[in-house]
């Protein structure tokens, strides 16, 4: 087997002696042959099973000839929008066009269409009427059944209908794609491949569909949002590969979309095999003159050690895509890859990350999950850690020690995020010391998301007192180690359940910390999350109780401004929010106030702490004051919270 990039042209096929590809993979990303990219994993896995795979990356969707550069494949087309949903890739939460696409050569925007998977499939259908089309990747996976689409603000069909594709391989896809390929290769018609776990198909009859739960019809959900909330939670309760049921979603004219149960998780041995495939571990050399592909910089010297997440935050789609059962690579597999990284010419001694969706998850949450699956209506960490939870960092600690002791490795960082409630639940308490002493680069980013407990409950996050406890233990540990390292919290505005009252509570918390975050994430309603269901329906699907949802753009702007109340550009919005909420007590000169009255307001001033009195009751900025405050911002984060 030739160790090279997979063919992207007919000339590449000729070098390999191919007259026809078995599969042509069409992707919305540039071709990056690295295991952090879904198209690389799936194509290399098929190659390992003896199939010939060619790549068409970012075809011109306005030109039908762009889809035929490799000819018609023998078995079918594989289509993915890319590593991100194309709409998230293109637009911010305010629906403004982004300036850069990190998955495109040179970071250039506009090289893929909106709703890329659907557009590519329709392009294929315009040229090859009968070729089998299998879609996958996160865009197809999270749109596999009827879903709320934030960008068009409506309930959309299963992507299987709008794309004209034959089959969806949802989730990570390694097991299902090989089974699909083998079925096609044996001569089974694509319309008869209805038996593969981890797939979704269309049918005009339910005669052969057994043991299925019938969801509300598309028409009924479109008429009644509560019906959609009910349907969504049935789907959510059937995302487990061991106990998940087959689901049927009815449409018009005897059309049904059938979701088979999820594929089983990969074993450690299977994970190791996937990551040992002969990747080139870089972008295709044809992109070099265009400036390369920016996304490679973030992952080139990082290690993917696990997948899946039992944290199950409401705003995260991982439960629908990777599932809640942790799958992890072996130490030997990760050390072998790390050794390869250290021999790269541009390796500087730093492994940037060892993790996954949640870095410190290395085991399934409990022994039961290994053979019987995750509990359908119960979370492992929320609202309290389950009594059966296996909170144990010993394997992760051992792995990190092995990696940092490798020759040429100066430092091993953890950047993909940890669950602070899981750290606290570990009775051994050894990981926090290990983390602070060896794996923090001065600042540790954590995600409390909010401080109001009623908002946190909607988010599926632990209570604020849990985070405060972690802050204290983190600061105490750094104190014992003689280190000056700080926490940088990720915060989210406008999540369902958050009104101006809760946004002000968060602003007051930040005031007491003496910290204003440089970046704030507005809640982004992406397909197939509990939070998005709340946003669209106004109901929490877990309880079917009404939930307040901030949807007005102006209110959302006020909530965001409150988190950054010190920014002079936000003054008008903050004043309006405080007035509207009846909290004008926070407008004044007292140290507890967020802003000054307009008569005493001078842009750039934090509340009454810097500058000198100029004789008329106002303060003037001392030279360099703004720059000094920026330097002090991170240093002061969380110091005050431990004194409360």
The pLDDT of residue 640 is above 60: no
For the ranges 116-125, 285-294, 605-614, the lowest mean pLDDT is seen at 605-614
pLDDT at residue 262 in the model? 97
- CATH for 442-452+466-598, options being 3.40.50.1000, 3.90.1150.10, 3.30.750.200, 3.40.630.10: 3.30.750.200
Contact 138, 307 (CB under 8 A): no
> Is the CATH code 3.30.750.210 the one for domain 301-441?
yes
Give the residue numbers of the binding site for [4Fe-4S] cluster: 309, 313, 316
The mean pLDDT of 8-14, rounded to a whole number, is: 98
pLDDT at residue 613 in the model? 36
The pTM of this model reads 0.91
Q: What is the pLDDT of residues 381-437, one digit of tens each?
A: 999 999 999 999 999 999 999 999 999 999 999 998 899 999 999 998 899 999 999
Query: How many Cα neighbours within 13 Å face the side chain of 163?
Result: 32
Q: How far is CA 117 from the centre of its chain?
A: 18
Output phi, psi for 254, to 5 deg: 55, 40
Number of neighbouring beta carbons within 10 Å of residue 182: 14
Please tell me the distance from the alpha carbon of residue 89 to that of residue 189, in angstroms, as a whole number.
35
Q: Which tokens in the block code for residue 630? A: 């920026």
The mean pLDDT of 608-630, rounded to a whole number, is: 37
Q: Do domains 10-201 and 301-441 have the same CATH topology?
A: no
Q: Is 625 helix (H, G, I), strand (E, B) or coil?
A: helix
Please tell me the distance from the alpha carbon of residue 144 to that of residue 169, in angstroms, as a whole number.
9
Largest CA distance in the chain: 89
Given pLDDT bands bounded at 50, 70 and 90, which one contains residue 601?
Answer: low
The backbone region for 609, taken as left when phi is positive above 0, alpha when psi lies in -120 to 50, beta otherwise, is: alpha
> Is the CATH code 3.20.10.10 the one for domain 10-201?
no
The mean pLDDT of 346-372, rounded to a whole number, is: 94
Ranges of each domain in the chain: 10-201, 301-441, 442-452+466-598
Listed residue (40, 37, 35) closest to 6, CA to CA: 40
Give the residue numbers of the binding site: 309, 313, 316
Please tell me the distance from the alpha carbon of residue 49 to that of residue 65, in angstroms, as a whole number.
29
Percent over 70 (pLDDT), the chain: 93
Please tell me the distance from the alpha carbon of residue 83 to that of residue 138, in angstroms, as a whole number.
7
Interior/surface letters 343-370, b for 16+ CB within 10 angstroms, e for the rest: eeeeeeeebbbbbbbbbbbbbbbbeebe
Extract the runs of DSSP E, i.e. beta strands, from 152-255.
154-156, 167-169, 199-203, 212-214, 246-250
Listed residue (198, 203, 177, 216) closest to 77, CA to CA: 177
The pLDDT of residue 294 is above 90: yes
């Amino acid at each position: 087997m030739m160790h090279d990039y997979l063919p992207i042209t007919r000339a590449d096929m000729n070098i390999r002696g191919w007259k026809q590809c078995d599969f042509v993979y069409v992707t919305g990303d540039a071709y990056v042959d690295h295991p952090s990219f879904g198209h690389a994993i799936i194509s290399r896995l098929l190659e390992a099973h003896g199939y010939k795979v060619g790549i068409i990356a970012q075809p011109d969707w306005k030109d039908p000839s762009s889809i035929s550069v490799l000819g018609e494949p023998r078995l079918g087309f594989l289509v993915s929008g890319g590593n991100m949903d194309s709409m998230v890739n293109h637009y911010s939460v305010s629906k403004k066009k982004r300036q850069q696409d990190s998955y495109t050569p040179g970071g250039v925007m506009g090289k893929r269409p909106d709703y890329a998977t659907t557009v590519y499939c329709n392009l294929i259908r315009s040229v090859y009427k009968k070729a089998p089309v299998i879609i996958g990747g996160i865009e197809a996976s999270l749109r596999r059944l009827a879903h709320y689409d934030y960008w068009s603000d409506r309930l959309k069909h299963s992507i299987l209908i709008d794309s004209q594709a034959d089959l969806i391989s949802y989730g990570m896809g390694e097991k299902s794609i090989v089974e699909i390929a083998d079925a096609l290769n044996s001569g089974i018609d694509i319309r008869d491949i209805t038996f593969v776990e981890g797939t979704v198909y269309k049918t005009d009859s339910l005669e052969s569909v057994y043991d299925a739960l019938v969801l509300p019809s598309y028409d009924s959900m479109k008429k009644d949002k509560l019906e959609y909330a009910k349907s969504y939670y049935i789907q959510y309760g059937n995302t487990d590969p061991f106990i998940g049921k087959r689901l049927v979603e009815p449409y018009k004219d005897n059309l049904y979309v059938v979701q088979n149960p999820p594929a089983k998780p990969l074993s450690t041995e299977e994970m190791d095999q996937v990551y040992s495939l002969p990747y080139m571990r870089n972008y295709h050399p044809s992109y070099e003159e265009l400036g390369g592909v920016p996304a490679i910089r973030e992952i080139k010297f990082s290690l993917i050690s696990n997948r899946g997440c039992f944290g199950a935050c409401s705003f995260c789609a991982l439960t629908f895509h990777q599932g809640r059962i942790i799958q992890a690579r072996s130490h030997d597999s990760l050390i072998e890859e790390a050794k390869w990284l250290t021999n790269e010419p541009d390796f500087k001694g730093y492994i940037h990350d060892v993790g996954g969706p949640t870095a410190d998850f290395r085991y399934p949450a409990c022994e039961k999950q290994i053979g019987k699956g995750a509990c359908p209506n119960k979370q492992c960490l929320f609202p309290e850690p389950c009594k059966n939870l296996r909170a144990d960092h010993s394997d992760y600690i051992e792995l990190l020690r092995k990696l940092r002791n490798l020759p040429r490795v100066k430092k091993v960082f953890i950047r993909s995020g940890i669950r602070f409630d899981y750290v606290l639940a570990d009775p051994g308490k050894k990981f926090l010391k290990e983390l602070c002493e060896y794996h923090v680069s001065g600042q540790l980013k954590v995600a409390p998301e909010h401080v109001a407990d009623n908002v946190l409950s909607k988010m599926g996050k632990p209570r604020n007192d849990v985070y405060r406890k972690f802050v204290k233990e983190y600061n105490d540990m750094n104190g014992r180690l003689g280190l000056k390292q700080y926490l940088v919290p990720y915060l989210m505005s406008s999540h369902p359940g958050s009104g101006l009252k809760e946004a002000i509570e968060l602003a007051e918390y930040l005031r007491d910390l003496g910290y204003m975050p440089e970046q704030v994430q507005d809640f982004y309603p992406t397909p197939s999350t509990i939070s998005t269901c709340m946003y669209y329906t106004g109901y929490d699907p877990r309880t079917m109780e009404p939930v307040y949802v901030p949807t007005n753009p102006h209110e959302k702007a006020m909530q965001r401004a409150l988190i950054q109340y010190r920014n002079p550009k936000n003054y008008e919005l903050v004043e309006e929010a405080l007035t509207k909420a009846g909290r004008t007590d926070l407008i004044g000169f007292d140290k507890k106030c967020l802003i000054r009255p307009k008569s005493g307001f001078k842009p750039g001033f934090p509340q009454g702490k810097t500058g000198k009195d100029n004789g008329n009751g106002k303060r003037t900025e001392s030279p360099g004051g703004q720059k000094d405050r920026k330097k002090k911002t991170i240093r002061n984060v969380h110091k005050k919270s431990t004194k409360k």
